[in-house]
Structure 1
Amino acid sequence: MNTKEVDFQEVKDDYTLFGGRGLIAKIMNEEVDPQCDPLGENNKLILCPGLLTGTMAPCSGRLSIGGKSPLTGTIKEANVGGVAAQLMAKLGLKAVIVEGKQDDDSLYMLIISKDGAELVPAGKYAGMNNYALAEALHADFGSKIGIVSIGCAGERGYRNSTIQVTDTAGNPSRAAARGGLGAVMGAKGLKAIILNVSGPSDSQYADKESFKTAAQNFTAGVRDNAFSGKVLPGFGTAALVTAVNAMGALPTNNFSTGSFERAEEISGERLAEIHSQRGGSNGHACQAGCVISCSNVYNDEQGNYLTSGLEYETIVLNGSNCGISSLDIIAKIDRMCDDLGLDTIETGATIGVCMEAGKIVFGDGEGSLRLLQEMTDGTEFGRLLGQGTELAGKALGVKRIPTVKGQSLAAYDPRSLKGTGVTYATSPMGADHTAGNTIGSRGVKPHLKEGQVEASTQAQVTMAALDNLGICLFTSTCLGKPENIGHLVSMVQAKVGGEWDADKLFATGITTLSMEKVFNKKAGFTEKDNTLPEFMYSESLPGSNNIFDILPDEMDKAIPF
């Protein structure tokens, strides 16, 4: 960014079998000093589609965005749907790497097309949030472009800031949310990346016919699974609210209890009712080629579009975790977060500690919106909140701060879902549910400690492997059947060539985790950082009396790569 140069390079031979998260980990270890300032010129922002992105593989349009996180200080990969990954594949891009840093406060855009790429001044878009920015860019460059952008949160360096990606309708509703990578993009002086390409993808296959057959078989496996084929299309991820509440693992009132007495008001069933009343919809795909369609379009009381992708994590962290049972309030929070560019998970946890500190009371939805408005306006207190849950909680004198490595827990209380607690603690990226959620793991009881380390390890390896491929994590629900693993392996083999089996496929996940751990160790992290907040070990959940009781020496056995 400091030289304003754009350079195309051939893909290195040893990058061939990496994509998405794995390629980010490899580039970070080779090119980024782990001790660097995340917002300094030596950090890099890396965008990578997966190995199968741009192919006929179902649900393969996920984009990995990575760098060193200003929120956690660790390596970070944030995963997002939308149109960007598929457009990058059409452009033949293995990765986009943003280096250096602006010497002043000027902003630029990176425009990429079949004709090349250029950095152009973006001062006219400075100070725009994501929805206004998307509208302006569509007016200036056409309706078919894909946009990767930051709002004012990223421009201001909020450690909780996201990078937004436009969806198939052109709305910037998809968030590479966790870890504050929007601040990295903002620090570099990059306001947006515009991907301008149309037409079919020109993907190359080692064996196209075999790939087509394997993709069809894997699609059938995903659709035949009860969760990915029926529950998610019908109710979206909000279907989990009722189930997790029944488990006693639904974060409520800043993780003080695991059940919410008004859970039905924020459930998938209630969400579906609102859609039917207002002309919204479930069964919305966040990316082209998705056969699950777990997302939604949420309309306001007048029937006008408000937000897209009102998901379980957003609903719980900004709902039950804050004592709020109004989906309308939560949807407004979601829209404001997408617009400003804030992680809804971190935001809900931050508001939760504000409530615990007495800034507003639990259940005060309008108060939550006021706090978000302070973040939007950039008041002194709003800027503090934008730095994330841990800094805000410490500044407010809160002792019960639900974070690991500086990042807030997601929407599962680890005292009742202990395998996910192991993932929160041991993931190289902080408390990240997409790194290896163990809900539904076979052979373990979620509230007991037995088998949880092994379940977490298996989940983390699987998720890392899928992130390499650019495949949605919800396809993993069908991998309990060996034949579906076989179809996935067959797709990879038919795409890149060579001999593949399940061990080789999942070894990519192991290699990714190993590289991430190497980076973190050089950044100064040790096993002592792999721990949950103290209150998870000392405070039992009301009703179940569950407590997190997996000891450090047991935790050290997770992801032993």
Structure 2
Amino acid sequence: MSKILRINMTDQSHEWEDLPEEWKTLAGRAFTSTVVAEEVDPTCHPLRKNNKFVISPGLLAGTPAPSSGRLSVGAKSPLTGGIKEANAGGLTATRLGKLGIRGIIIEGRPPEDDDNWYSIFISKDKVEIKETNDYAGMGLYDLIDKIWNDYDNRPGIIGCGVAGQREHLNSGIFGNNIENSDPGRYAGRGGLGAVLGSKRVIAVISDDSGCNSPEPEDEDVFREGRGKLATALNDHPVTGRLKDEDGQPYGGLKNYGTNVLQNIINEAGGLPVRNFAKGQWDGAAKVSGEAVHELVDETNEKFGDEAEGKYGHPCHPGCIMACSNVVPSSETGKAIVSPLEYESAWGLGSNLEIDNLEHVAELNRLCNDLGLDTIETANAIAMFMEAGKIDFGDGEAAIELLKQAYDPDSAEGALICSGAKVAGEALGVERIPVVKGQSLPAYDPRAIRGIGVTYATSTMGADHTSGYTIAAEILGIKGEVTDPREIEKADLSRTFQATTAYIDSSGYCVFIAFAILDDDDGFAGMTETVNGFLGTEVDVTDYGMHVLEIEREFNKKAGFTKEDDRLPEFFYDEELPPHNVTFDVPDEELDAVHK
């Protein structure tokens, strides 16, 4: 029987609760959003005691279902002012799944006269909430290395860095990589690191020693679904690892990571460059997944066993797609950062016109060390460039600017840590690419209208993973591509948003969408693993729409209206080269997404 662990930071107490029968099917995003909607006042201050920080592994966490080890965290967002879920890989979801924990609810906050910092340790035998003041202020590479060495059994570790401890709006939740203490897994968006920091909690550490994988209610259905999905993932050109007739790798997340999209989106004219001023850039190839692949091969050949670069690196146990990577230094072969995802390489590279791959990797490493979201940080740096404070393309200046975030007295550092909206407004910038306070990711909505509809109408603010229409508009489904410049995209975005809410709740990685949308057996495999685990049938669309309705209702009570489901004005007014298009989707189409 799954349990809920409730932790009250006001007095550092905890209690176990049985999972209510009506919550049997809730996990991941469905769990975090349900708890936030039912237990958090939508009008509360997100950094005071009445907000709650919720952690939940997906339904399939700890099972042998492929690519199902994602972890969701949720709260009222200090960045958007609405409901927020963010998810990441790492070890924690698997650890919690095997511990039988469906969710952790952290509520309250220590009284004003208690200035201690705390960490939470969870195993099958105990829950410890203990003072760990020595963790405060540490860079995350040092902090996680310390925790990793202080505890046995390869613990799952999540928490907040110095940005979250200072309650900055641009702070994320880190997680450790699966084989070491690297803070490479990030539930980065929405400022949730600040919520955990406001509870005076730095880390949540989980150890599943002595625990077994959870058992499905219907083993036969689960096993059959697992096999179908694994086959679909392995055989697909995006999610599998395939070779051409000459034995050379092609396509594939394993070979080039998510950053394989850099050249693809650039070719489509939808790559945001120079703070969303144009849609193509000659330097994109230099910071692409292919460039990372080449650098790894070169350093492996040059440095042999001393080289640390790699591709085909899984972000959580049991992931077939293995789209992560380790970017090495060309001079030493040692790791600079792991991973360098597409959105990070775009934001810290192409959108800033920085074409030095190792500068981009160093910027990503600094974000990881500070506990900052790379997308929000990249757009905040773009505000400084747009304002003329540093030049576009100057990687060294960008690195020095980001280092200011370590200094609690630095005004520039505080702006970076506050996100693009605050930074842009403070610097007098007019073109600020945010929706509901959150920065736009790596696809220009003028060139790819469906993702623009998702940005505008997502419950989370501008968020590509909320409804990843890129799968249909750029990569295609069953050999057919939906015209990216077609304006009637309400149905497409709604379908992707609902399906994504289901996937986020199952614990699956959203990238299984490439295989399940192309392969009917793959889609059946996804649903059969969930249904087999639960012992009951769950409809994908109904489940996802229910989650979206919960989130929309919370945001409505928090003060959001349909006028908040709009893109910034410049996307409607400024033509985007090279196709010279604007975002001309009518408001009626946007309003139809959640009619």
CA change 1:174–1:180 in 2 (3 A) is: same
Question: Secondary structure of 2:16's match?
Answer: coil
Q: In structure 2, what is the equivalent of residue 528 of structure 1?
A: 563
Question: How many angstroms apart in 1 are the aligned matches of 2:200 and 2:254?
Answer: 39
**For residue 292 of structure 1, what is the amino acid of its counterpart?**
M
CA contact (8 A) 1:102 1:187 kept: no
Q: Identify which range, 416-425 or 125-134, moves more after superposition.
A: 125-134
Q: In structure 2, what is the equivalent of residue 109 of structure 1?
A: 119
Q: In structure 1, what is the equivalent of residue 548 of structure 2?
A: 513
**For residue 128 of structure 1, what is the amino acid of its counterpart?**
M
Question: Secondary structure of 1:229's match?
Answer: coil
Question: Secondary structure of 2:388's match?
Answer: coil
CA contact (8 A) 1:6 1:118 kept: no
- Tell me by how many angstroms 1:298 deviates: 1.3
- Asked if 1:296 is matched to 2:325, the reply is yes
- Asked if 1:80 is matched to 2:80, the reply is no
- Tell me by how many angstroms 1:450 deviates: 3.7
Q: In structure 1, what is the equivalent of residue 37 of structure 2?
A: 29
- Tell me by how many angstroms 1:187 deviates: 0.6
- Asked if 1:216 is matched to 2:227, the reply is yes
Question: Secondary structure of 2:501's match?
Answer: helix
Q: In structure 2, what is the equivalent of residue 413 of structure 1?
A: 444
Residues 513-549 of structure 1: per-residue CA shift (max 9 Å, x gap)? 0100000000000100000010000000122011100
- Tell me by how many angstroms 1:112 deviates: 0.5
Which of 482, 491, 497 pairs up with 2:520? 482
Which of 460, 473, 486 pairs up with 2:510? 473
Q: In structure 2, what is the equivalent of residue 89 of structure 1?
A: 97
- Asked if 1:496 is matched to 2:521, the reply is no
Which of 147, 157, 162 pairs up with 2:172? 162
Q: In structure 2, what is the equivalent of residue 233 of structure 1?
A: 254
- Tell me by how many angstroms 1:389 deviates: 0.2
Question: How many angstroms apart in 2 are the aligned matches of 1:436 and 1:447?
Answer: 14
1:7-406 correspondence runs (5 A):
7-103=15-111, 104-142=114-152, 144-170=154-180, 171-198=182-209, 201-230=212-241, 231-279=252-300, 280-300=309-329, 301-378=331-408, 379-406=410-437
CA contact (8 A) 1:111 1:117 kept: yes
Question: Secondary structure of 1:468's match?
Answer: helix
CA contact (8 A) 2:450 2:487 kept: no
Q: In structure 1, what is the equivalent of residue 13 of structure 2?
A: 5
Question: How many angstroms apart in 1 are the aligned matches of 2:276 and 2:522?
Answer: 37
CA contact (8 A) 2:380 2:415 kept: no
Question: How many angstroms apart in 1 are the aligned matches of 2:294 and 2:276?
Answer: 28
- Tell me by how many angstroms 1:445 deviates: 4.0
CA contact (8 A) 1:404 1:424 kept: yes
- Tell me by how many angstroms 1:304 deviates: 1.1
Q: Identify which range, 43-52 or 223-232, moves more after superposition.
A: 223-232
Q: In structure 2, what is the equivalent of residue 457 of structure 1?
A: 494
CA contact (8 A) 2:172 2:192 kept: yes
**For residue 13 of structure 1, what is the amino acid of its counterpart?**
E
- TM-score, structure 2 length as denominator? 0.92
Q: In structure 1, what is the equivalent of residue 305 of structure 2?
A: none
- Tell me by how many angstroms 1:460 deviates: 0.7
Question: Secondary structure of 2:275's match?
Answer: coil
**For residue 548 of structure 1, what is the amino acid of its counterpart?**
F
- Tell me by how many angstroms 1:199 deviates: 5.0
CA change 1:162–1:273 in 2 (3 A) is: same
- Tell me by how many angstroms 1:446 deviates: 4.3
Question: How many angstroms apart in 1 are the aligned matches of 2:271 and 2:43?
Answer: 36
Question: How many angstroms apart in 1 are the aligned matches of 2:150 and 2:485?
Answer: 56
Q: Identify which range, 334-343 or 260-269, moves more after superposition.
A: 260-269
- Tell me by how many angstroms 1:28 deviates: 1.1
- Tell me by how many angstroms 1:483 deviates: 2.1
- Tell me by how many angstroms 1:465 deviates: 0.7
Q: In structure 2, what is the equivalent of residue 550 of structure 1?
A: 585
Q: Identify which range, 140-149 or 159-168, moves more after superposition.
A: 140-149
CA change 1:422–1:517 in 2 (3 A) is: same
Question: Secondary structure of 2:174's match?
Answer: strand
CA contact (8 A) 1:127 1:152 kept: yes
The alignment covers a number of residue pairs equal to 557
- Tell me by how many angstroms 1:440 deviates: 3.0
Residues 54-84 of structure 1: per-residue CA shift (max 9 Å, x gap)? 1111000000000000000010001100000
**For residue 511 of structure 1, what is the amino acid of its counterpart?**
H
CA contact (8 A) 1:242 1:263 kept: yes
Q: Identify which range, 473-482 or 399-408, moves more after superposition.
A: 473-482
Q: Identify which range, 64-73 or 292-301, moves more after superposition.
A: 292-301
CA contact (8 A) 2:124 2:210 kept: no
Question: Secondary structure of 1:253's match?
Answer: coil
Question: How many angstroms apart in 2 are the aligned matches of 1:102 and 1:363?
Answer: 44
Question: How many angstroms apart in 2 are the aligned matches of 1:373 and 1:20?
Answer: 34
Question: Secondary structure of 1:258's match?
Answer: coil
**For residue 492 of structure 1, what is the amino acid of its counterpart?**
V
**For residue 192 of structure 1, what is the amino acid of its counterpart?**
A
- Asked if 1:431 is matched to 2:494, the reply is no
CA contact (8 A) 2:116 2:133 kept: yes
Residues 368-400 of structure 1: per-residue CA shift (max 9 Å, x gap)? 101110112231221122111001000000000
Question: How many angstroms apart in 2 are the aligned matches of 1:151 and 1:291?
Answer: 30
Q: Identify which range, 485-494 or 521-530, moves more after superposition.
A: 485-494
- Tell me by how many angstroms 1:42 deviates: 0.3
Question: Secondary structure of 2:18's match?
Answer: coil
**For residue 264 of structure 1, what is the amino acid of its counterpart?**
A
Question: Secondary structure of 1:40's match?
Answer: coil
CA contact (8 A) 2:221 2:531 kept: no
CA contact (8 A) 1:537 1:548 kept: yes
- TM-score, structure 1 length as denominator? 0.97
CA change 1:145–1:499 in 2 (3 A) is: closer
CA contact (8 A) 1:155 1:183 kept: yes
CA contact (8 A) 2:449 2:487 kept: no
CA change 1:535–1:450 in 2 (3 A) is: closer
Q: In structure 1, what is the equivalent of residue 306 of structure 2?
A: none
CA contact (8 A) 1:20 1:63 kept: yes
Question: Secondary structure of 1:60's match?
Answer: coil
Question: How many angstroms apart in 1 are the aligned matches of 2:116 and 2:389?
Answer: 36
Percent identical: 42
**For residue 303 of structure 1, what is the amino acid of its counterpart?**
G
Question: Secondary structure of 1:95's match?
Answer: strand
CA change 1:138–1:440 in 2 (3 A) is: closer
CA contact (8 A) 1:449 1:549 kept: no
Unaligned runs of 5+ in 2: 1-8, 242-251, 301-308
CA contact (8 A) 1:57 1:215 kept: yes
The CA RMSD over aligned residues, in Å, is 1.2
Question: Secondary structure of 1:479's match?
Answer: helix
